[in-house]
């Protein structure tokens, strides 16, 4: 839970703006608050406004707008350098903080007009080494489905439906646990999910998904579920406690099914199953990259383009297909 009473007013105003006008999710707001609180604590040390060096003990509420107005690009660079040297932050973590700082100062200068100059206007994002996403190949995906469809497991209908949806629809973990029964339209074979930034999108369900969900619902609909703060009575997937299934429980299910399939669960995760769905659709379904973007709920096409990677066999086949290969 955010402790906004410990924030300066301008930070809380930014968080309110991000919630109401930018429609950012609660998780994004938490990240903004965490990143900016750390930044302000660093500025307090950097400007000699405190002798305390323990970040946990440093307060930010007393950091005035006059102090914010003194911040320049070099100060921000110093903070990013501190993250790299002292915190051993990964480039992706630093990139996120840079993005947060840019949005924050843009708000202060252009929206709230609390400062005249934007010190982050020319702030660059740390260069990230693009890595190909890990994913299961087709054969390993089939092994995982077989492991999930083990009737010795009393929850096998639920677990099989979860794995099937991950591998066929490419949902995020948060999207899967948030599915309500009423979100599924069996007439049109589609469902609605809430993605990043509370954005709603439509997911079309293939025959495998419809069958798996239907078989699970025949069990789910016999369970008497009380309404609670999680709206468990509406939830598609339930835990053994008859509550909306948690992210951790789903992660555990995926972990155990990967192990049962003879796959290394330390190498894969629910998000890797999302990578798998995207990769298989692109490689075998000849899916247009923009259709894949819509399906996955990516704001930018550049995020989706990482799934256009090719595997080693495709590279080998490309070389072998060269008309000069047999000369």
Confidence bin at 301 (pLDDT 50/70/90): confident
Weakest-pLDDT range from 101-105, 240-244, 276-280: 276-280
Residue that wins the pLDDT comparison between 267 and 127: 267
Q: pLDDT band at residue 320, thresholds of 50, 70 and 90?
A: low
Q: Over the chain, what is the mean pLDDT?
A: 89
Mean pLDDT of the 151-176 span: 92
pLDDT of residue 233: 93
Confidence band (pLDDT; 50, 70, 90) for 226?
confident
Pick the more confident residue, 288 or 75: 75
Residues 19-25, mean pLDDT to the nearest whole number: 88
Tokens matching residue 189: 């074979």
Q: Which of 172, 220, 244, 257 is catalytic?
A: 172
Q: How far apart are CA 48 and CA 289, in angstroms?
A: 51
* Nearest by Cα to 263 from 142, 127, 101: 142
pLDDT band at 153 (very low <50, low <70, confident <90, very high): confident
Would the pLDDT of 1 be above 70? no
Which pLDDT belongs to residue 230? 87
pTM here is 0.65
Residue 323 pLDDT > 60, yes or no? no
The pLDDT, as a whole number, for residue 5 is: 87
Confidence of residue 326 (pLDDT cuts 50, 70, 90): low
Catalytic residue among 156, 211, 271, 309: 271
The predicted pLDDT at position 178 comes to: 95
Determine contact, residues 88/33, Cβ cutoff 8 Å. Answer: no
Of 182-186, 272-276, 294-298, the one with minimum mean pLDDT is 294-298
Q: Is the pLDDT of residue 2 over 70?
A: no
298 is catalytic: yes
Comparing C-alpha atoms, which of 252, 92, 80, 78 is closest to residue 163?
252
Confidence of residue 130 (pLDDT cuts 50, 70, 90): low
Write down all domains in the chain, each with its CATH number in brackets. 4-111 (1.10.150.130), 138-310 (1.10.443.10)
Task: Tell me if residue 307 is catalytic.
Answer: yes
Catalytic residue among 196, 211, 242, 272: 196
Neighbours of 216 (CB within 10 A): 22
Question: Does residue 116 surpass a pLDDT of 70?
Answer: yes
Beta-strand runs (E) in the chain = 184-185, 190-194, 200-204
Which three-class secondary structure state does DSSP give residue 56? helix
Predicted pLDDT of residue 4: 79
Token duo for residue 154:
């009393």
Q: What is the largest CA-CA distance in the chain?
A: 76
* pLDDT tier for residue 316 given thresholds of 50, 70 and 90: low
Read off φ and ψ for residue 4, nearest 5 degrees.
Answer: -70, -15
Count Cα neighbours of 88 within 13 Å in the Cβ-side half-sphere.
0
User: Is there a catalytic annotation at residue 172?
Assistant: yes
d(CA 291, CA 158): 28
| pLDDT value of residue 185 | 95
Give Cα separations from 145 to 13, 140, 262, 278 (angstroms): 48, 9, 12, 17
Q: Which pLDDT score, from 0 to 100, does residue 92 have?
A: 85
153 against 48, higher pLDDT: 48
Of the pLDDT bands very low, low, confident and very high (cuts 50, 70, 90), residue 314 is: low
Stretch 82-93: mean pLDDT: 90
């Amino acid at each position: 839970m955010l402790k906004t009473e410990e924030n300066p007013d301008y930070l809380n105003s930014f968080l309110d703006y991000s919630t109401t006008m930018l429609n950012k999710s609660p998780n994004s707001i938490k990240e903004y608050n965490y990143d900016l609180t750390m930044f302000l604590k660093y500025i307090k040390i950097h400007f000699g406004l405190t002798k305390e060096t323990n970040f946990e003990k440093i307060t930010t509420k007393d950091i005035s707008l006059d102090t914010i107005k003194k911040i320049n690009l070099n100060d921000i660079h110093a903070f990013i350098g501190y993250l790299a040297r002292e915190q051993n932050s990964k480039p992706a973590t630093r990139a996120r903080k840079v993005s947060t700082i840019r949005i924050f100062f843009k708000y202060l200068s252009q929206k709230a007009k609390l400062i005249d100059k934007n010190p982050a206007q020319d702030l660059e994002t740390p260069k990230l080494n693009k890595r190909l996403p890990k994913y299961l190949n087709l054969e390993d995906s089939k092994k995982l489905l077989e492991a999930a469809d083990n009737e010795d497991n009393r929850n096998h209908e639920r677990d099989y439906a979860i794995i099937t949806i991950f591998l066929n629809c490419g949902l995020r973990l948060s999207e899967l646990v948030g599915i309500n029964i009423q979100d599924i339209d069996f007439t049109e074979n589609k469902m609605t999910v809430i993605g990043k930034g509370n954005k709603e999108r439509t997911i079309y369900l293939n025959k495998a998904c419809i069958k798996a969900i239907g078989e699970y619902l025949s069990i789910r609909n016999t369970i008497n579920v009380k309404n609670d703060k999680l709206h468990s009575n509406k939830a598609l997937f339930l835990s053994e406690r008859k509550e909306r299934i948690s992210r951790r429980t789903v992660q555990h299910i995926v972990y155990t099914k990967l192990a049962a399939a003879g796959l290394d669960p330390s190498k894969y995760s629910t998000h890797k199953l999302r990578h798998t769905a995207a990769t298989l659709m692109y490689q075998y379904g000849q899916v247009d990259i923009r259709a894949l973007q819509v399906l996955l709920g990516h704001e930018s096409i550049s995020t989706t383009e990482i799934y256009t990677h090719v595997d080693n066999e495709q590279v080998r086949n490309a070389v072998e297909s060269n008309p000069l290969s047999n000369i």
